[in-house]
Amino acid sequence: MTVLVELSTPVVMGILLGGLYAVIALGLSLVFGVVKEINIAHGDLVILGSYFGYVAMTVLGIDPILSLIIGMPLLFGIGFAIQKYLLNRAFKISMDATLIIAFGLSLILQNAYQLIWTPMARGLTTPYALESFSAGPIHVPLVYLLDFAAAILVMLFIQQFLKRTYLGRAIRAAAQDRKTAHLMGINTDRVYAYTFAISMALAAVAGVFLGLTFSFTPISGMSFLIIALGVVVLGGLGSIVGTFVGGIAFGLAQTLGGYFFGVAAQMLVAYIMVLVVLAVIPRGIFGR
Amino acid sequence: MPEETLLKVSHIDVFHGSFQALWDVSIEIKPGEIVAIIGANGSGKSTLLDTISGLVHPAKGNIEFEGKDISALEPFRIVNLGISQVPEGRRVFPDLTVLENLIIGSYNRKARSKSEQNLQRDYQLFPVLEERKSQLAKTLSGGEQQMLALGRGLMSDPSLIIIDEMSLGLAPILVNEMYKILREIRERGITILFVEQNVRKSLTEADRAYIMEAGRVVLSGNVAKLREEEKVKKAYFGT
C-alpha cells in the first residue's frame, strides 16, 4: 500500500510530463509524416520558442504563455519561409540534401543563441512556475499541470484542423500519395510550407512550456530532439493519438526510472524502452 | 478557331531522363467528344496523359487547352483550368473517408464553391458512394474504388476528364456499367479522354481513337473506320 502511495507521485508526474514531450514531438512527427523530412533542427527551433518566451518576459514584461499570441504567428512565418525557400528546393535534389540543410540550420541556431544569450542556462521563472499542486499524497509542480492542459488543447486543435479544413485534408492527402495529390489540384509545395509552418507554431508552444518546466541553454535543442525522436518511435508515425501516448510512455519511463534506479539513470531507462519497442514493434504503438 | 478544339497537343517530345518516351505526338479533342488512346504497355499512353496533366513537361512541342498554352504549367494550375485526371490504379487516399476523398477532389478554388452541387451529381451517378461516405476508402471493393476515383475526378468541376485504364482489374459486368456512366458524364457536357488496353471496348465506346506504338501515334480516326483497318484487325482482333 505504501509503495502505491509513494509511486503515485512519479506516475502522475510522468503522465503530465509526457504531455510536454508530446507537444515537443508533434511538430517533428507532422513534418516527418507529411513531408518525409527528418527535421534535425526541430529541437533547436523549440528552443527558439523558449528564447522568444524569455525575451517577452524579461524585455517586454509579458507573461510567456500570453506572449504566444505573437510567438506562434512569428514562428509560423519563419517556418513557412524555411520550407519554401530552403527545404522545398533541397528535396528536389534529394532527401539527403534536406537532412544536411536541417543539420546546418541546427548549428547556426545553436551558435546564434550563444552569441545573443550567452551559454548560461535560462528559465522562464514566472510566479506560478514555482507553485505546486497537491491532491492527497500526490505533489506535482503546477507547471506540469499546465503542460498537460496545453498538450490536450494542442492535440485536439490539430486533430480537428486536419479533419475539418480543406488545408488539413490536403495535408493528409499529400502525406498519403503525393502524385495523386498533384492531380487533385493540390499545390504540394505550398502544403509542405504550411505543414512546416504549423510544426513551428507548435514548436513555439512547446518552447514556452519547456522553458516554464526546465532550464535551457543554447544547446538544449539536441537533447529534446532525441526525446522527440524517441516519442515518435514509441507512438508510431503519422498518428496524433500515437504521439500523445508515446509522450506519456516516455514521461513515465523517465519518472519511474528515476524512482527505481536514481535520477542519474532516468533517461537511460527511457531510451532502453525506446530500443525495446523498436525491436519488438518497429512501427510503434499506433503505427500503420 | 479556338472554340472548335478543346485540347490540342502539337508535336511533343517527352523524355524520362535520357529515355525518350514520346516522339512527335499530336492529338486533338473537340468539346463533347469521347476520345480513346489505345496501345500496348509501354507505348507511351500514360506518359501522354501525365504530360497533359503537367506531371511531366514536353521537351519540344506544346499543349493548348481552350486556346491557352499549358505545356509549362504545374499540375495544380492545370486542374484549376478544368482538366482532371483519374489516375491508373484508382489511387484513392486509403486513410481518408469516401466523403473526404470526394471533397479533396474539389480542392481548387473554382471547384470549392460548387462542391455541394458536384457532390450531389456524384451521388446521383454513384449511389453507392453516398451509402459508404463515412467508410475509409481502403475498405471499398475494387469497383467501388474505381467509382470513387472517377467521382473524385469529377469533383474538380472539369470540362475535360482524363481517365487512365479504367477497366483494369474490373469484372466485365462492372466495366459495362462504368462505360454507361461515362456516357452519362458526357451528356452532362464533360469531354472525355481515356486510355485503355481493352481495344474492342475502346473502339465501340469512343467517337475517335489514337493508336500508339513505341511512343508514336501510328493510326488515328473515327472508330468505325479504325475497326475496319487491316492493321488494327490483325494486331488486336486476330483476324
User: A255-274 burial string, b = 16+ CB within 10 Å, else e?
Assistant: bbbbbeeeeeebbebbbebb
Q: Which three cell numbers stand for residue A239?
A: 498518428
* Rg from Cα positions in chain B: 17
Q: Please, which residues have CB within 8 angstroms of residue A138's CB and are 6 or more apart in sequence?
A: A8, A9, A12
Q: What is the DSSP letter of A99?
A: H
Q: Do A185 and B93 touch (CB under 8 A)?
A: no
Distance CA B216, CA A64 (A): 65
Identify any residues that bridge with A138 across adjacent strands, giving them in sequence order.
Answer: A135
Sort out which chain B residues have CB atoms less than 8 A from A170's CB and list them.
Answer: 104, 107
Q: What is the pTM of this model?
A: 0.91
The ipTM assigned to this model is 0.89
Sort out which chain A residues have CB atoms less than 8 A from B80's CB and list them.
Answer: 185
pLDDT in tens, chain B (239 residues): 445 899 999 999 999 989 999 999 999 999 999 999 998 888 999 999 999 999 999 999 999 999 999 999 999 999 999 999 999 989 999 999 999 999 999 998 889 999 999 999 999 999 999 999 999 999 999 999 999 999 999 999 999 999 999 888 888 899 999 999 999 999 999 999 999 888 888 899 999 999 999 999 999 999 999 888 877 777 776 65
Distance CA A246, CA A236 (A): 8
List the single best residue of A163, A171, A183, A241 to mutate versus B (max B Cβ within 10 A).
A183
Q: Do A179 and B105 touch (CB under 8 A)?
A: no
CB A25, CB A227: distance < 8 Å: yes
Among A18, A75, A6, residue whose Cα is nearest residue A213: A18
Distance CA A11, CA B233 (A): 77
CB B138, CB A177: distance < 8 Å: no
Q: What is the pLDDT of residue B40?
A: 86
Q: Which three cell numbers stand for residue A16?
A: 503530465
Look at chain A and count its residues.
288
Phi, psi angle pair for A63, to nearest 5°: -60, 135
Residue A178 forms contact with B (CB below 8 Å): no
Residue A184 forms contact with B (CB below 8 Å): yes
Q: Do A183 and B84 touch (CB under 8 A)?
A: yes
Residue A180 forms contact with B (CB below 8 Å): yes
Distance CA A33, CA A252 (A): 25
Q: What is the pLDDT of residue B2?
A: 46
CB A176, CB B94: distance < 8 Å: yes
DSSP assignment of A193-215 equals HHHHHHHHHHHHHHHHHHHHHS-
Sort out which chain A residues have CB atoms less than 8 A from B105's CB and list them.
Answer: 184
SS3 at position B113? coil
Q: Do B76 and A182 touch (CB under 8 A)?
A: yes
Q: Which three cell numbers stand for residue B58?
A: 514536353
Phi, psi angle pair for B64, to nearest 5°: -115, 135
Q: Do A170 and B107 touch (CB under 8 A)?
A: yes
CB B11, CB B61: distance < 8 Å: yes
Q: Please, which residues have CB within 8 angstroms of residue A221's CB and are 6 or more apart in sequence?
A: A41, A42, A43, A44, A45, A46, A47, A106, A109, A110
Q: Which three cell numbers stand for residue B83?
A: 482538366
Nearest to A183 among B87, B95, B100 (CB): B87
Q: Which three cell numbers stand for residue A281?
A: 514493434
Contact pairs from chain A to chain B, CB under 8 Å: 62
Q: Do A176 and B94 touch (CB under 8 A)?
A: yes
Nearest to A179 among B55, B104, B108 (CB): B55
Distance from CA of A229 to the nearest CA of B (A): 24
A 156-175 residues inside an 8 A Cβ radius of B: 166, 169-170, 172-173
CB B222, CB B206: distance < 8 Å: no
Q: Do B93 and A186 touch (CB under 8 A)?
A: no
Residues of chain A with pLDDT under 50: none
CB B44, CB B212: distance < 8 Å: yes
Residue B53 forms contact with A (CB below 8 Å): yes
Distance CA A101, CA A38 (A): 11
Backbone dihedral region of A270: left (phi > 0), alpha (psi from -120 to 50 degrees) or beta?
A: alpha
How many other C-beta atoms are found inside a 10 Å radius of the C-beta of residue A125?
Answer: 15
Among A153, A198, A152, residue whose Cα is nearest residue A171: A198
Give A151-208 pLDDT, tens digit per residue. 999 999 999 999 999 999 999 999 999 999 999 999 999 999 999 999 999 999 999 9
A 249-288 residues inside an 8 A Cβ radius of B: 288
